[in-house]
Amino acid sequence: MENNPTPLDRLQHWVKESIMLKLVSIGLLSLILLIPASWVMSLMDERQSRATEVIAEISSKWSGPQTLAGPILRVPYTRVVKNKRWEDGKPIEEVFESTEFAYFLPDELMISGDLSPHVRHRGIFDAIVYDSRISVRAKFPDLDFARWNIEDGRVHWAKAELLTGISDLRGISENPVIRLSSVNLPSEPINDIGVNVNNVHDGSNESGIVTKLPWTQRPDSALSVTLELQLKGSERLYVVPAGKTTDVTLAGSWSSPSFEGALLPVQAPDITAERFSAKWKVLSFNRPFAQQWINGEQNLVGSSFGVRLDLPADQYQKSIRTAKYGILIIILAFTALFLVEITSRVRIHPFQYILVGVALIIYYSLLLSISEHLGYNAAYAISSVATVILVALYASTFLPGKSMVGLFTGLMVAFYGFIFVIVQAQDYSLLIGSMGLFAIIAVIMYFSRRIAWYK
């Protein structure tokens, strides 16, 4: 008696044999796996935020990033305003006086700083802090008030001051040594030097130190001062080019600095495995503020530059970049299994695809957790080997023959090696990634060229 299949039997056979349905189900599984992949990305962002909070906490107890500005010469003067009004048909002249300030920047400014960085630990997190010795030499021009029509008699020379902006006064570890010629001058901290030198947006002024000058009248010669400063900070040290000509040299015992800000060094920095050294030369034409001004606040924001001390490897950034390729690894692995399935006439259940995909997702959580203790490279190697072995052992339960299992394992090793190269070659990642994907598509086209898709 001939066995006539029922509609349900035919539907089950179509579900089992349909290549198109299999492709659709693989695509849906890939989309579903994007949900746990996004959870892993959120976990990485959370851990990076936690690391940033710990670094900020360490910096708050040590000293924050430093920006050095100055010295700036501030001289008060009396402003006279005459006003005429009429009373009972007679003119009456009124005179109003107020104290205002004139600011002068140095013609020549030379700054040299030597940094001694070290790493502070808090649990599994690290923060870079430093001690530094900074030497400043500044030469000011002859002070000309005539350009503002201010008589010499209205200038209060005895109240002239030098202002030096420092972002975080907690970083001053020894009393600053300020010399006028060979005379040491005392200095005091001040929370408002009247000049905005840091990248703040709330209108607040920069903190710093103020030094009273021993003048009783107009100085006979140009002012020349030196400043010796021992300054603590964290992560970066910036300098504001306050001089008409500013020469800056920064050096330190650190192998992975980055040079940031408005201007780059005048030549390639000298970086070795133990130290770095960089030089800048800035002219007044290269910055957006005046050399002399009166009244009002002069904004020196946007002209600072300097050095940032980076950790040799930031496992969070590399882990996040690696996780961005997670869906690519899943698609490539599913594609490899699908091609094996239709060429070897073996049936792989969707649940088996899901387990492989979940293992590929858990890989990134494993990578993140291990990298926090051993660093990115070691974590990548351990996580990749563990995941490839796990997936290969599981694939051996449903793939036909050891050759197919070996081929699939080799493809997984190639995929993870390809991603590692992309992450490490940051400047060429787009080029390498594009060429690699092109090669992968070409290989897939080659091996699928004889598949009779409609059969």
Whether 327 and 306 map to the same domain: the answer is no
Rounded to whole angstroms, how far apart are CA atoms 165 and 176? Answer: 13
C-alpha distances (whole Å) from 397 to each of 14, 164, 383, 391, 402 are 25, 73, 22, 10, 10
Rounded to whole angstroms, how far apart are CA atoms 36 and 43? Answer: 10
- Please state, rounded to an integer, the average pLDDT across all residues of the chain: 79
Using alpha carbons, select from 40, 58, 59 the residue that is nearest to residue 316.
Answer: 40
**pTM of the predicted model as reported, rounded to 2 decimal places:** 0.69
Helix (H) or strand (E) holding 225: strand 224-234
Whether 296 and 396 map to the same domain: the answer is no
* Other residues' Cβ atoms within 10 Å of the Cβ of residue 413: 14
Whether 180 and 290 map to the same domain: the answer is yes
Report the pLDDT value the prediction gives residue 109, as an integer from 0 to 100.
92
Of 269, 294, 310, the position where a domain reaches its end is 310
Whether 336 and 380 map to the same domain: the answer is yes
pLDDT digits (tens, 9 = 90+) for 94-113: 667 778 888 889 999 999 99
In-domain check, residue 12: no
Whether 43 and 81 map to the same domain: the answer is no
Higher pLDDT, 15 or 100: 100
Whether 371 and 306 map to the same domain: the answer is no
Residue 202's pLDDT band (boundaries 50, 70, 90)? Answer: very low
Per the structure, the complete domain to which residue 105 belongs is given by: 64-310
Whether 411 and 320 map to the same domain: the answer is yes
* Other residues' Cβ atoms within 10 Å of the Cβ of residue 14: 11
Rounded to whole angstroms, how far apart are CA atoms 202 and 200? Answer: 6
Strands 125-139 and 270-271: unpaired
Is residue 204's pLDDT more than 50? Answer: no
Of 310, 329, 360, the position where a domain reaches its end is 310
Structural domains counted in the chain: 2
Tell me the CA end-to-end span of the chain in Å, nearest whole number.
29
Contact present, 206 and 65 (Cβ < 8 Å): no
Whether 225 and 240 map to the same domain: the answer is yes
C-alpha distances (whole Å) from 251 to each of 22, 137, 257, 346 are 62, 17, 10, 64
Of 310, 327, 359, the position where a domain reaches its end is 310
pLDDT digits (tens, 9 = 90+) for 395-407: 888 887 788 888 8
Whether 38 and 177 map to the same domain: the answer is no
Rounded to whole angstroms, how far apart are CA atoms 120 and 132? Answer: 16
Whether 277 and 175 map to the same domain: the answer is yes
SS3 237: strand
Whether 277 and 185 map to the same domain: the answer is yes
Whether 272 and 200 map to the same domain: the answer is yes
SS3 367: helix
Quickly list DSSP for 41-54: HHHHHHHHHHHHHH
Rounded to whole angstroms, how far apart are CA atoms 73 and 63? Answer: 26
